[in-house]
Amino acid sequence: MTHDAAASRPAPRGRVLAGLSLAALGVVFGDIGTSPLYALKESFLLEHGVPATPENILGILSLVFWSLAFVISFKYIAVLLKADNRGEGGILALLALIRPQGELAGARRALVLLGLFGAALLYGDGVITPAISVLGALEGIDVATPALREYIVPIAVAILVVLFLAQRRGTAGIGRIFGPVMIVWFMAIGALGISGIARDPSILRALWPGYAVDFFVRDGMQGFLILGSVVLVLTGGEALYADMGHFGRRPIRLAWFALVLPALLLNYFGQGALLLDDPSGAANPFYHLVPKPLLYPMVALSTAAAVVASQALISGAFSLTRQAVQLGYCPRVTVVHTSQHEAGQIYIPEVNTGLMLACLALVIGFKSSTNLAGAYGIAVTGTMAITTVLFANAARTRLGWRPRLVIPMAALFLAVDLAFFSANLVKIPAGGWFPILLAGLIFVLMATWKKGRHIVTAVLREGTLPMELFIKEMAKRPPVRVPGVAVFMTSDLSGAPPVLLHHLKHNKVLHERVILMSVATREIPQVPEEDRVDCQDLGFGFFAVQASYGFMESPNVPDILQALVPRGLVVKAQEATFYLGRETLIPTKAAPAKRAALAARGLWMPMWRKRIFMVMANNARSATAFFGLPPNRVVELGAQVQI
């Protein structure tokens, strides 16, 4: 079972548990914690046709309560946190569990492609969350001083620009205050909720699920479509699951049940009580809960909480991209480690720039959290449903859960997820198109890269010579050997890499020691150091080195060479020569018969996908930088590859 390693770690207790729970508040719960800024407000918009009558208020509050109880507390906290990949959660961790080696086929291929689209949707979440959270926080200015309404968008743009530009410096410094900021935030919204409930304690009747049922029966289709707004209280559920590897189950559960859930429920019910007392507050019930003298301090605190929520999603996008690179769904990118102590704190300039431009476009284009709410719902509900499907497969086939438990549970989860998703489909014209378009674009890029690399690897493999035959040939007709060590990077240790054959053909010499090195990604988050490197002496001065990394790790060749020392192979990175192959891709057309034959072997792409793949390959980060090779010790040999 893949979660043995995680299960063997001692559960945190005492001060360690408290510290992890505090840190989780600043990373895991920022997104869901800022939902009260806009979630309930969206349910009573005029275009929904659901006025703020006592029956509707009680019905919607009942939906909010039971949605949080079922989806977050039961599905994510109680069940999904147990379905981990050696301690890691999230869509790509599940995808790594179910991903087979080799070419995909049949239902498994459809499942992997679905998971890939779910990962692409997460980028939409990462783009929308900073925009909607910051706008929702600043809209308190409109309540305090309506004359300043026109400054909300420029201020939001300025905050987001500063936030994204600060990423290159890392979050280690400001990250220490994220937890305390969120403690103050949750205590503040909880206190506001208590003051609201005091206005009309009868709002607590909404705890009875009958009010939710009556709401559906009474309002019919209009009541069903309101789920598209209610789902906004669930934003951040996927982040909660994905961040499990950073903090563990117990700290997340403790923070949720001890502080986050009570504060959220108090605030939502306080907003509901406010509406029972004064339905005109439906325009922005969160800020109407705040006493007038405290409006601007609350705007400042809300903005700080929105920045924390945004930072969590930005960091999540960086982590997601690194996982995608390691799993072969994304070209090499620049991964900058911003902390000497925390391996998970990384910065990816390419992703940061893309997120910043997309966020600014959303803020300028949509202008308010209300306009963005439709886009948000599609991204959230789509990801929830896909996670359920992947969980059901992984739990049944890889984690050893009993089918009689998994199937009915997954069916129930999926029924709820699809209900929320269906209610959001009507919002596609009003903004829901954005996450679908963005996810579709990212999905095409990831699938094209995976397919293209598969084709290139297959073409190169056809030109290789089995290592046994190569070694025998070297023994029969030994070339001139020169002092030193040569390291040839390859993806397949079973054959002599093309770059080695080209080097021997053109230079007619070999180093005294030749290392064939392959760096592979396994389906687990981290590989134990004792399993990192495997070295095999092939004879005649040749060595095969297989290095393994998890999908949460970044490869480093000098570290691999250092790990060879205990195995009797002493190689200094600054004294070795590293040989890399640089492929020049040539897109080719083919006759229908040949095209059909290649397609049957999974080795064909349409011309438009070939051109996309070429652009991605040409803009990928160099292998020298990605593997941490000394630039002045690298030799690149080119080869033309027809695809």
For 14-18, 53-57, 103-107, which range has the lowest pLDDT when averaged over its residues? 103-107
CATH of the domain at 356: 1.20.1740.10
| 625 vs 633: CA distance, rounded Å | 12
Distance, in Å, from the CA atom of 136 to the CA atom of 156, rounded to the nearest integer, reads: 10
Q: How far apart are CA 265 and CA 189, in angstroms?
A: 10
**pLDDT in the model for residue 8:** 44
Residue 424 domain flag: yes
**Sheet harboring 533-539: ordered strands across?**
533-539, 542-549, 509-521, 480-489, 577-586, 634-642
Say what the pLDDT of residue 77 is: 92
Whether residue 308 is found in the same domain as residue 394 = yes
User: Which pLDDT score is estimated for 370?
Assistant: 84
Beta-strand runs (E) in 14-111: none
Q: Which two tokens stand for residue 197?
A: 């409930």
- Would the pLDDT of 567 be above 90? no
Looking at residue 3, what is its pLDDT? 44
- How far is residue 351's CA from residue 333's CA, in Å, rounded to a whole number? 9
Query: Are 512 and 538 contacting, i.e. CB atoms less than 8 angstroms apart?
Result: no
Residue indicated by tokens 């009010």: 211
In this structure, are 296 and 401 located in the same domain?
yes
Long-range contacts, stretch 614-621, CB < 8 angstroms, 24+ apart:
614/585, 614/587, 616/331, 616/445, 616/448, 616/449, 616/452, 617/331, 617/452, 617/583, 617/585, 619/331, 620/331, 620/332, 620/333, 621/331, 621/332, 621/333, 621/334
Q: How far apart are CA 188 and CA 158, in angstroms?
A: 26
- Look up the pTM and report it: 0.84
CA distance 336 to 345: 9
Burial of 70 (0-12, 13-18, 19+ CB in 10 A): middle
Q: Which residues, in sequence order, are CB contacts of 401 under 8 Å at separation 6+?
A: 83, 395
Residue 536 has φ and ψ, to the nearest 5°, of -130, 130
Domain boundary among 452, 481, 507: 452
Given this model, what pLDDT does residue 398 score? 79
197/256 Cα distance (integer angstroms):
21
Measuring CA to CA, which residue among 387, 363, 343, 357 is closest to residue 554?
Answer: 343
Mean of the per-residue pLDDT values for the chain? 86
Q: How far is CA 44 from the centre of its chain?
A: 32
Q: In which residue are the tokens 């489909």 written?
A: 425
pLDDT value of position 357? 94
> DSSP character for 12?
P
Q: Confirm whether 582 is domain-assigned.
A: yes
Cα dihedral sign for 90, 92, 96, 97?
A: positive
Task: Name residue, tokens 């306080």.
Answer: 270
634 vs 88: which has the higher pLDDT: 634
Give the mean model confidence (pLDDT) for residues 57-81. 94
Say if residue 94's pLDDT is above 50. yes
CB within 8 Å of 618: residues ≥ 6 apart: none
* Same domain? 417 vs 324: yes
Is residue 273 packed enough to be buried (19+ CB in 10 Å), middle (13-18) or exposed (0-12)? buried
Instruction: State residue 369's pLDDT score.
Output: 86
Indicate whether 417 and 477 sit together in one domain. Answer: no
Residue range 402-431: average pLDDT? 92
388 shares a domain with 470: no
* In the chain, % of residues over pLDDT 70: 94
Query: Per the domain annotation, does 458 fall within a domain?
Result: no
Residue 346's pLDDT is what? 78
Residue 22 sits in the same domain as residue 127: yes
Write down the pLDDT at residue 6. 42
Contacts of 385 (CB under 8 A, 6+ apart): 414, 417, 418, 421
In a domain, 457, yes or no: no
Residues 20 and 117 in one domain: yes
174 with 317, same domain?
yes
Higher pLDDT residue, 1 or 81? 81
What's residue 171's pLDDT? Answer: 60
Q: β-pairing, 465-466 with 495-496?
A: antiparallel
Strand-pairing partners, residue 518, are 546
Burial label, 457 (beta-carbon count in 10 A; 0-12, 13-18, 19+): middle
In a domain, 442, yes or no: yes
Domain limit, last residue, from 422, 452, 482 = 452
- 108 and 204 in a common domain: yes
At 21-32, the pLDDT tens digits run: 787 787 788 889
What does the pLDDT look like over 483-521, one tens digit per residue? 999 999 988 888 888 889 888 888 889 999 999 999 988
Q: What domain range includes position 494? A: 463-642
Mark which of 397, 417, 452 sits at the end of a domain: 452
Report the pLDDT value the prediction gives residue 7, as an integer from 0 to 100. Answer: 42
Q: How confident is the model at residue 352, as a pLDDT?
A: 92
Q: How many domains is the chain partitioned into structurally? A: 2
> Does 46 share its domain with 107?
yes
Q: What is the pLDDT of residues 452-481, one digit of tens each?
A: 988 888 888 887 888 888 888 888 888 899
8 neighbors 86 (Cβ within 8 angstroms): no
Q: Is residue 443 part of a domain?
A: yes
Residue 341: what pLDDT?
Answer: 53
d(CA 555, CA 550): 9
Please check whether residue 207 is in contact with residue 265, taking contact to mean a CB–CB distance below 8 angstroms.
no
What is the chain's alpha carbon radius of gyration, rounded to the nearest angstrom? 27
Phi, psi at residue 521, to the nearest 5°? -105, 125
- Looking at the fold, whether 243 and 312 belong to one and the same domain comes out as yes
Amino acid letter for position 260: V
**Which tokens is 418 given?**
């699809």
- Cβ(90)–Cβ(76) under 8 Å? no
Are 415 and 503 within one domain?
no
pLDDT tens-place string over residues 251-261: 888 889 999 99
**What is the predicted pLDDT for the residue at 524?**
80
128-141 average pLDDT score? 90
Question: Measuring CA to CA, which residue among 355, 343, 354, 342 is closest to residue 313?
Answer: 355
